[in-house]
Every structure is written in structure tokens, then in C-alpha cells.
Structure 1
């Protein structure tokens, strides 16, 4: 259901209910007590803004600073000790981490064991919420933002049975803002059912650099207008339709870099005018649609701030540009502070203070929590961060929690999971949306559609799951299939084996994954070699790019080429339907594909796409 500002009556009732939950959930976590219900204080003065003001007035300095941190916690449930928490936090359980720092939020990843299956995720969410709401000695009850990065496509934290989509660039290929909104609504509804109330999506970067190693298919398009339309649609899907907080990222724009900010410090060389034309439109659209959060980028943008500092630490960018020029009033959150792009110039505690001083409201995943937390408290006490500025930041965080219903309804209903997560209706919608994204870039030999019935088809190339899924999809259309995974960097022996196997086949489908990237993905060029040697067999060869659409620039000899923008099974199953002719391809390139080594020469333009 679309969300709307809470009425006074609904809010007071919801707040009282939340406070009651805090008093009846049982023995408090980590020795905390919930013996004093706070329903009356939270409801006076009445209404959302009254709750925020009343709560802010009763918070200690430590509690206020805690609201500015969103941290990863290790463990599949809230109360089981996990030794990995101790070096970071000095305590062992997620619940203890939440309570020690009065955290504003937690973030889930597979590598922290936070996301295993919907019942586990829901139990963890409820457990950490219980910890936040049963803080011993506190005069306030503030629930957590429970966050993850469910962009879909290549950045997907919660896998099946949650409904999967092929990601942003695929949706851009569909040209359907309605499909983008539906994908966000379904994703948001399922996250919310598992107690995840904040999604660090959509990606608002405009991917104008085909060599971009960190954004690529996470972007909707290289066209600012298409990207803006899709970003706006997803903001409405997440927030208005599903009721979860969304976050546009990575401001001021990460689309034109060949450097990965996880491991280095990118520099964006756009002029101010280029920023206005290329990078800004999706963020402006997100702001117009009421985006709850905007995430910063750890990169240097000299035209916007010539100090040499990353944007995350730049007052001219965070305050001058985002707050004052664009008029953004929501929460600004950093990208992960564990990324090298923000750690090169200053130590972790100083990074935290500088980010807040620049205009950021929340700090994501500092790798030095004790030191950073103490540094921020010290900065407030010394006046480096004013009390008024601190209160303004906390107010924005609390207002978000009210607006998204987190205060009124902090807990998830585990009994309702099966009615929301991975339902037949959601899965069917995902299939239909994905069918509209597959792009036929080249069909010179008229190999497609392939008459699969009774044919022997070799499926080889990138990905154990990818090749098996595609082979199974073609088998459903009557083909006898053989799957041979050769990975991202095939060896000569693997290539020879695939070529030998092709001899007895009627057709070959070969999957590629960033075959253009010799620097990282395929240093020896094995994917390109595999395709070229398969073409030399004389067999009909269908190349399927399962991530970046740019691979064709390095495989120009291939007469048949499809782009899926994703190796997610939902995308691979869709391309099987396209190959077999069950579905006609209708996707249009959402980016230009330049010739290899010649960025100014367009091989296939934005909007290109064949069908049959």
C-alpha cells in the first residue's frame, strides 16, 4: 500500500503499540530492562514531529551520536556470540553491539551471516530491534534502521526464495518506468516482510564510462534522462508503494571512472557544466520524488571542490551543493567507510568527524567503531561539531524512522513471510519484466530464433550456475544440452575441451562476463579466445553477454550476440526463452557500445535493439 504521512490518531496509536511491544517482548537483551513502558512520553506531545522533538530532548549525547552510525554485525541471530564481532566492537553478539553504541542502524550481508533465509533474517531483525528498544537506563525507545543493498542484479544480498530481478541496466533496456517501479515495490515489500526497512538503492549513477569497474550494470543507463526516469520510478516503488526507505547513490556521481573506490581513490574530471548535464539529473529526480537518503561517493571531483578531499568529506559538495543548491532535506549517509577511497588521506576516527562536519548525517560501516564513536563525541564536546548541528542530524534520522513507520511498527511478522516473500505472483511479475529486458544486439547469420527441438546444443563459457541454468532452459524447449563451465579466465585446456565438444553439436551458446576487462576479470583474454576458437569450428555460435553489454566490441567476429545485463537465473531463464523463440527480444541498449580502444567511435548506439 502507498505510504502517507501518519495521521495524529494513527501515529499515537502506533507509537503506543511500539512502546507496549518494547515492554512485553520478554527479558531484555544483554541484561537491559524494559520494565518502564514509554508509551505516554512518546505520545506527548502528540504526532510524529512531537515524538521526534520529545525523544530528541530526552536523549543523552552518547545516544545522539549512536544514531549517526550504521554498522555491520556478525551472526545469524541477535543473541548468539560471534567472535568476529569482538575485534571490531569488544562485545560478541549483535544485540550487544546495538546496545553498546545505541546504534542508529545495522546493515546485512551474506558475509556477515546476516542473510541466509527469510525466517532467519526476520528473527535477526526482530532480535536487533528488541535490543534497541530495551536499552537499560535509557529514557527513549528508538528502533533501528535495518538496512541492506538489494539493488538486484550484480548487487543482491538476499537471494531466493526472495524474488530476484536482473538489475538496473536491464530495467533501463526495457525502457519501462512502470516495470522499474514494480520491481522496486516487490523488492521493498519482501525486504519489509523480513524486517529490513532501509534499502541502499537505487543506483543513481549515469554510467558514461564503459570501462567503469565498480558501477557498470548497476546504473540504469548512460543517458541522464532515462536514468532519472528510472531512479524516480524506483524511489516511488520503494517508498510510496512498499514503505521502505530508499537511498540514491553515489553522490555527486560515480558513473565516469575507471577506478574502483573500494580499493583506490577515483578522480572525476567532469566540468561543472558536465556534472549538471550528465550526473545531476537522477539525483535531482530522486530529490523531487522525496528520497529518504542520499549516499555519498568516495571520489575526488575537482570541478565541485578543488581541495583534493573525497566528496564524502567535502563541505562544498555535501552542504553547499547537495543541501543548499539542490535543496535536499533528507538524510545523507556515507558509502562504507571501510573503502580505501575514503581512508587514504585521514585516519578512521578523523574520517568520521570530517564527514559529519562536511554535512553527512550517518556514517556507514566505520572499521574503527570505538575510536570513531569516541572521536565524534569528543568533537561535539569540543565544539568542532556544534550541538545544534548534531541535533539537526539526529532529527533527520528520527524523522525518517517515523515517516517510514519504523517507530510505529519496528517488528516483522514472521507468520506472514509466505504471503509476501517469493510468492507466485511476484515471481511471475519478475519473469514478465525480465522478458522485456533481453537485448538482441546482432543477428547477422539469422541464427535466432533457434529451432531447439531435437537439436544438440553446447552451453559453455562463464559460470557453473549460469551455464547449467541456460542449458536447462533450452532443454525445456526440446534441445539436448551439454553444459561446460569455463569461468571468467578460461585456460587453454578448457578452451580445447569446449572446442572439441562443439564438434558433435548442432549449435553452441557461449556466455561471457566482462570479457572486455583484461585488467581484472580476464587478464589473459581467455574469454575472447574461447569465443573466437568456437567461431572457427563453423558451428552456429550464439554469444550471450551475462553482465556488461560492452563485450561485443571485443568479439566483433561473432554474428549473433545477446545482452542480458545480469547472470541472475531470472535473466538467464529469460534469454533461454528468447533463444528458443518463445519470447521475442524487445530490449533496447540503454548505453552506447563504443569500439574497442576507441571511445569516440560508437559501434552500437543507445537505443539499438533487434527483434523477430
Structure 2
């Protein structure tokens, strides 16, 4: 019997034909005013333009199948500028620049990494995010980063050096988790990043855990849950989306899912007691997204599939039991833990069928895109199932003010906000209270 009783509902091109370079437009240009040549005759008034659809349902109804499938994907793009030509982009997507990739595939978002050449300096990141948004004029992008602070800090050293989750957790003060998340969110937003893959909601009950460890707020779910809830509030205070990860829990592993497939033997009762509370707390705070884990929990799903591909876990536990109706993101699909049993195209299809909405970092983007598109056209992924995911993604964008028009980041404001004295003072305060 679950202990969670109350939850408020809302972590190489193969050479086949690529999708069309652009989908159907969602607004028509106004007809030019026709002016008669007779001096006494008034000008014919311009034909009224068709307004751009507003609201989630209107935008959804205006999208082609190809555009809907594109919304499901969040790739890494290579280079420091939207118009920068890169051999890596050419090899992976068949086009040279990030802007051309966005125009070709219409992804729902992108994720930034230093190793992809995305993070050089403040003004460069601002120009990059503004350029990426400019390349997606119809539906603004989710622009994400893994900025947990501490061990996982993808935008260091541009952003403030705030303590990681284990340090914050050791203070015993959730208000510091909220303030740290807000400070991080303010800095990300100034850079043009609107989604953080944080906070970590795992409970690190295995001291030999090679992948979570200090990324978690602690080893006691009763103490971790309020920290996670406070962090979600902090990100929302800053006006950006947050992601609780890694569902159903990555805290009791001795294998790194980047390099292997961990198996966690928690019973359902143990999961209810140890793993579920932080995710339930995040859902109660209307967390925007929850990221799946590439871990096998045979007592929750005996199929042997990792949670990312498990309908009993993503749909049964997360959607139905915990009541989450926000965006479910996969963990990175280039990780070994999700690639052991199926090919890269099949993994993408199975993740959607399991209940995922956002496909993060597929290693072979064209193959994954084509596989999902073909599954939709064949009916393997029903049209209403596709619409469910796209609707959730559009709703997230709408909730964060991104659906109609992407905000434009200001480089001067970013330089003022990042590594501010206020945020450095907060870091010192947290460190002084850590135990």
C-alpha cells in the first residue's frame, strides 16, 4: 500500500529521405492593397490577414504531423552561434548550422553543453539562444541546460558557483534550496535558457552510487522531499521551467546508467517509502517536467526494460498513481543504459509508447525522427497519443510564457545578473550553514 496519499496533478544520418525543410505556415501574409488607377476611386482595402493561432489547442490544430513529431525532440546542436557551420552538424543532421537544423526538423527544444561548443562567454551564449529562437519563429523553443550546481554545472564558469544539492541538503533548511534555485533560474533566464534539468529528486540511499552521490539532497526521503519541493518553487519564482529527476529513482544503484544498465530491486513498498516521496512533493508544486531513469526495477515492471521504456512505470506509476500530467522527458538517449536491447529508432518509439513526451539527445537523430514519424503514420503510435505529448509540451511553453513569442535575452542584463554579489553572498551563506 502506498504511503503517498495526496498528490496534486501537474527529468549519423542513414541516408533515407529527410523531412521537408519547413512545415506549413500558421499565418498567411496579408494581400497587398489593390489601388485603382482612377483618381476619384478610393484604394481597395487590404484583405485581412489570418491571425496566428493563439492558445495551446489552436496551435496544436494548426500543426502538421511532421511538426508534431519534431516537437518531441530535444537534440544537442554544435557550435557557438546559430549560423555557425559545423562538420558535426552536417554529419548528424545533413545541414551545416544549428539554424538550418531547426528549420529542417522543427524540434521542440535544444540542450546546451560546453563540449558541443555552445558555452564560451556570456554574450556568446545570449547571442546563441537568441539566434536559436529566431530560427524557430512559429513555436518558440525550449532551451535547456543541466545546471544542477555542484558536480553537474554545464554553464560554469559563467554562472554563480552555488553549492550542490548535498551541501544544501545538509543545512536542513528548504528555504535555502528555494533561494539557490531562484538564483540559478534568474541567471539561466538572463542567458536565454528557459528549462533547467533540475532538481535531482533521487534519494541517495546507496553510498557506493557512482552517478548520483552529492547530486542528491540526501539519503532520507523525509528530508529530501521538502528540499525538492522548495527548489521547484525557486525555479518558478525565477520564471523558468524545472525538471525533477530521475524517475522512478536512481538513488540505490552501483552502476552508472551512462555506461551500463542498473538494476534496483526495491519492492513496491520500498519504492513507496524511499523513492516516491520527493517526486510526489515536486508534483504537488506543479513541477513542469519529470525525467525518466535508465534503470530496471523488476518489482515494478518485470519486463526487464529500463524505466524510460516502461509503460507500467511511466504511465502506471507516474501518470496514474502520482497523478502527474506534465511533460515526461527521457534521460539522454545516447546513454548505454537505454540502448542495450533496442536500436536507436526503436528506443524513441518505445519511449513515446511508454508515456514519455520529450526525447532527449537521440544519438542518431534522423533515424529516431523517421522511426517515430513512421510509427505515427502506421498507427503504431496513435494520433491521439501523439497529440497528448505535443499538447503537454505546448502547455509547458504556454505556462512559462513561451508559446506566442520567445523572450529576447539582453546581453547587458545577463552580464549584470550573472555572478552578482547577491548570488555570491547566498553561496557563502549556504556553505556557512552546511554540516
With the length of structure 1 as denominator, give the TM-score of the two structures.
Answer: 0.63
Q: Which of 360, 365, 376 is equivalent to 1:369? A: 365
Aligned CA RMSD, in angstroms, stands at 2.0
Structure 2 equivalent of residue 185 of structure 1? 182
Residues in 1 aligned to 2:397 and 2:49: alpha-carbon distance in whole angstroms: 19
CA contact (8 A) 1:256 1:268 kept: yes
- Higher mean C-alpha displacement, 287-296 vs 87-96: 87-96
- Higher mean C-alpha displacement, 403-412 vs 123-132: 403-412
Greater relative contact order (Cα 8 A, min sep 6): structure 1 or 2? 2
2:114 counterpart SS class: coil
Deviation, structure 1 residue 37: 6.8
Structure 2: 5+ residue runs without aligned partners? 1-20, 31-47
Residues 1:69 and 2:61 aligned together: no
Residues in 1 aligned to 2:263 and 2:286: alpha-carbon distance in whole angstroms: 29
Residues 1:255 and 2:259 aligned together: no
Residues in 2 aligned to 1:120 and 1:378: alpha-carbon distance in whole angstroms: 38
1:72 counterpart SS class: coil
Structure 1: 5+ residue runs without aligned partners? 1-28, 45-49, 134-140, 438-586, 588-612
Q: Which of 180, 191, 196 is equivalent to 1:194? A: 191
Residues in 2 aligned to 1:43 and 1:432: alpha-carbon distance in whole angstroms: 48
Residues in 1 aligned to 2:417 and 2:83: alpha-carbon distance in whole angstroms: 26
Structure 1 equivalent of residue 309 of structure 2? 313
Q: Once the two structures are superposed, what CA deviation does each residue of 1:48-92 show, in whole Å capped at 9, x if it has no partner?
A: xx5211111111111000000000011000001011112211111
Residues 1:89 and 2:93 aligned together: yes
2:187 counterpart SS class: helix
Change (3 A) 1:389 1:34: closer
Structure 1 equivalent of residue 131 of structure 2? 127
Structure 2 equivalent of residue 301 of structure 1? 297
2:66 counterpart SS class: helix
User: How do 1:148-547 and structure 2 match up within 5 A?
Assistant: 148-239=145-236, 241-407=237-403, 408-437=405-434
Change (3 A) 1:36 1:435: farther
Aligned residue pairs, count: 396
Deviation, structure 1 residue 41: 5.6
Deviation, structure 1 residue 435: 1.7
Residues in 1 aligned to 2:358 and 2:349: alpha-carbon distance in whole angstroms: 11
Deviation, structure 1 residue 162: 1.5
Deviation, structure 1 residue 426: 1.5
Change (3 A) 1:35 1:253: closer
Deviation, structure 1 residue 344: 0.2
Deviation, structure 1 residue 430: 1.6
Residues in 2 aligned to 1:34 and 1:41: alpha-carbon distance in whole angstroms: 9
CA contact (8 A) 1:43 1:51 kept: no
CA contact (8 A) 1:299 1:311 kept: yes
Change (3 A) 1:66 1:299: same
Change (3 A) 1:75 1:430: same
Q: Which has the larger radius of gyration?
A: 1
Structure with the higher strand share, 1 or 2: 1
CA contact (8 A) 2:163 2:430 kept: no
Structure 1 equivalent of residue 6 of structure 2? none
Q: Where does structure 1 differ by over 4 angstroms across 4 or more consecutive aligned residues? A: 32-44
- Higher mean C-alpha displacement, 288-297 vs 96-105: 96-105
1:111 counterpart SS class: helix
With the length of structure 2 as denominator, give the TM-score of the two structures.
Answer: 0.88
